[in-house]
């Protein structure tokens, strides 16, 4: 390898490493509560890899979240969340449990990013919680359905607890390809 190529690769690797550490610092630091564009990007970067369920150390609240979607060319609503959870005989985590955990985390963030009243959205909300949830849902839909880019669907998100009942309708959400 010639010297110029080694230098270019070294600079590129170092740049990626610096960007990675900046995102990690913004995600984990107390400054992450600040509303900034860099904080939003760091959350989108770190969430799929480093987020743990907050219920790991406290009991899960008595809340039932449901997500239904209806594709534009369909008449029926398809229930996405809650997924059936199934363990094999050794109690190992299987694929549906991992997806269930991912959805439970992202629905938690979605619910905390939306107002505490039922709303119909004709445009997607521009919140980190919705972006995280939308990313999770898109990944799930791409895995389980053979959908093309920009497939439109409507989504209903409901949350029931002893204290509150919330209903959100998101119209004309598009599946994106990354």
Four-CA torsion 81, 82, 86, 91, nearest 10 degrees:
100
Q: Range of 37's domain?
A: 3-50
C-alpha torsion sign, points 55, 44, 113, 164: negative
Terminal CA-to-CA distance of the chain, rounded, Å?
33
**pLDDT tens-digit readout, 75-106:** 888 888 765 444 443 344 445 566 667 777 78
Is there a single domain that holds both residue 107 and residue 79?
A: yes
Is there a single domain that holds both residue 75 and residue 114?
A: yes
pLDDT of residue 31: 58
Listed in sequence order, the residues at least 6 apart from 116 whose beta carbon sits closer than 8 Å to its beta carbon are 164, 166
Is there a single domain that holds both residue 83 and residue 143?
A: yes
**pLDDT tens-digit readout, 135-178:** 888 877 777 777 767 788 889 998 888 788 899 999 988 876 55
Whether the model pTM is above 0.85: no
Widest distance between CA atoms in the chain? 67
Is there a single domain that holds both residue 18 and residue 66?
A: no
Is there a single domain that holds both residue 69 and residue 147?
A: yes
Is there a single domain that holds both residue 154 and residue 108?
A: yes
**pLDDT tens-digit readout, 18-34:** 999 888 887 777 654 55
Is there a single domain that holds both residue 150 and residue 113?
A: yes
Is there a single domain that holds both residue 45 and residue 66?
A: no
The packing angle between helices 3-28 and 37-50, to 10°, is 90
Is there a single domain that holds both residue 44 and residue 100?
A: no
111-127: average pLDDT: 88
40-67: average pLDDT: 70
pLDDT of residue 34: 56
Residue 9 or residue 107, greater confidence: 9
Is there a single domain that holds both residue 21 and residue 72?
A: no
Listed in sequence order, the residues at least 6 apart from 81 whose beta carbon sits closer than 8 Å to its beta carbon are 65, 66, 67, 103, 107
pLDDT of residue 63: 73
pLDDT of residue 145: 72
Is there a single domain that holds both residue 93 and residue 134?
A: yes
φ, ψ for residue 156, nearest 5 deg: -115, 130
Structural domains counted in the chain: 2
Is there a single domain that holds both residue 125 and residue 154?
A: yes
């Amino acid at each position: 390898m010639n010297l110029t190529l080694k230098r270019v690769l070294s600079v590129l690797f170092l740049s990626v490493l610096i960007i990675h550490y900046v995102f990690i610092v913004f995600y984990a630091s107390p400054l992450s509560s600040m509303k900034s564009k860099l904080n939003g990007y760091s959350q989108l970067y770190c969430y799929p890899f480093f987020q743990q369920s907050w219920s790991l150390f406290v009991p899960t609240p008595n809340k039932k979240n449901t997500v239904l979607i209806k594709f534009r060319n369909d008449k029926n609503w398809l229930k996405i969340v809650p997924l059936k959870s199934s363990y094999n005989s050794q109690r190992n985590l299987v694929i549906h449990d991992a997806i269930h955990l991912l959805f439970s985390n992202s629905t938690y963030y979605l619910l905390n990013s939306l107002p505490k009243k039922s709303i119909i959205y004709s445009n997607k909300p521009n919140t980190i919680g919705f972006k995280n949830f939308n990313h999770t849902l898109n990944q799930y839909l791409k895995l389980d359905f053979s959908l093309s880019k920009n497939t439109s669907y409507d989504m209903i998100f409901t949350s029931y607890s002893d204290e509150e009942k919330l209903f959100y309708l998101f119209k004309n959400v598009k599946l994106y390809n990354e």
